[in-house]
Amino acid sequence: MDIQIGRGKTARRAYGIDEIALVPGQRTLDPSLANPSWSLGDIEREIPIIASAMDGVVDVNMAVHLSQMGAMGVLNLEGIQTRYEDPNTVLQRIVSVGKDEFVPLMQEVYAAEIQPQLIEKRIREIKQQGGIAAVSATPAGAMKFGEQVAEAGADLFFVQATVVSTAHLSPSAECPLDLRDFCDRMPMPVILGNCVTYEVALNLMKAGAAGVLVGIGPGAACTSRGVLGIGVPQATAVADCAAARDAFYQETGKQVAIIADGGLITGGDICKCLACGADAVMIGSPFARAQEAPGQGYHWGMATPSPLLPRGTRIRVGTTGTLQQILCGPAQLDDGTHNLLGAIKTSMGTLGVKNLQEMQQVEVVIAPSLLTEGKVYQKAQQLGMGK
């Protein structure tokens, strides 16, 4: 139902993850029987979680470790890892500088040229250690470096920007990336994003996307919503794009993955996104808190180093445990940020669903008081959900 903002302008109500709750059904099952596995192209994963292609989150070692644990991480091909032979020195500068000097420093270090040979080197380093070589680039970067990515044998290619659509207009002197042609030419599955609407998601699927990333601006370190004023709250965005996936499957018989990207901190956030229709989630800040993360307790957005209009910042997330504890437990924190896989399986068991397809069909209610109801002591003492 549309809401009238003023004469001549109406709006549709949209909902964020914090505004909804999942309703248990008529049965429950032991969490050990819950199977949250999923597939992206021809790659099957036991855990429906992807680490974001951010320099403070994923490097070669993180990508390998995540793969070994049943998840995956995506390496940013236009970041520190492909601009510097030794990225650790640069990362140390980024985490050490004061907040007032941060943006100028980022603009400086990201001004270094991307080295095609380092793109191939990083991909091969991941594969040589048995990891899934999932990589990310902007549309411009994909057009420029697609050949190197293919030659190096990457397993998955994420083409990401704030908004990606099949109807992009460019100045006459520029030739935009033809998404359909790119998907056809690449020897590996291509994942496209980001988007937040049914129509754009459907068009990306028709262009050949093996997966579609959903989310504009909800990330912990992203400021696009404040700088640009654009975005759709994640619960509504995921549900709309999942509807496009279902319609596309009915029409073609092809299964495309919907990946909720950004704004998800706890296991409960992830479970609610899956219930809204996501096949998997992409998260950054929860993994930035791992001891193994290259950001050493800091996290920053992909658009932060923009030389003209930075749309991200560096946040201190701290280091709370190992990657094993954060992803698979055992949890040492009581706020839902550890043992994310355990949270998914326990939620599925409580809801009585065996797999993600059933999870996507559970009842959802509007519940703005879900995170505050009865939590007076937790909030007063800054414990658990009151932190």
Task: Catalogue the active-site residues.
Answer: 222, 316
Q: How far apart (Å, rounded) are the C-alpha atoms in residues 215 and 197? A: 10
Q: How far apart (Å, rounded) are the C-alpha atoms in residues 116 and 365? A: 49
| Contact of 63 with 133, CB cutoff 8 Å | yes
Q: How far apart (Å, rounded) are the C-alpha atoms in residues 133 and 154? A: 5
At 39 the three-state DSSP class reads: strand
Radius of gyration of the chain (CA): 20
Q: What does each C-alpha distance from 265 to 31, 146, 189, 227 come to in angstroms?
A: 21, 32, 27, 22
* Residue in the block written with tokens 């990333």: 213
20's CB contacts (< 8 A; 6+ apart) are 235, 272, 276, 364, 365, 366, 367, 370
Q: What's the chain's length in residues?
A: 387
Strand partners, 6: 9
Number of helices (H), then strands (E), in the chain: 16, 16
At 186 the three-state DSSP class reads: coil
Strand partners, 135: 75, 157
Q: How far apart (Å, rounded) are the C-alpha atoms in residues 150 and 119? A: 11
Q: How far apart (Å, rounded) are the C-alpha atoms in residues 150 and 135? A: 11
3-state DSSP percent of the chain in helix, strand and coil, to 5: 40, 20, 45
* Residue in the block written with tokens 């008081």: 369
Q: State the amino acid at position 318 in one-letter form.
A: G
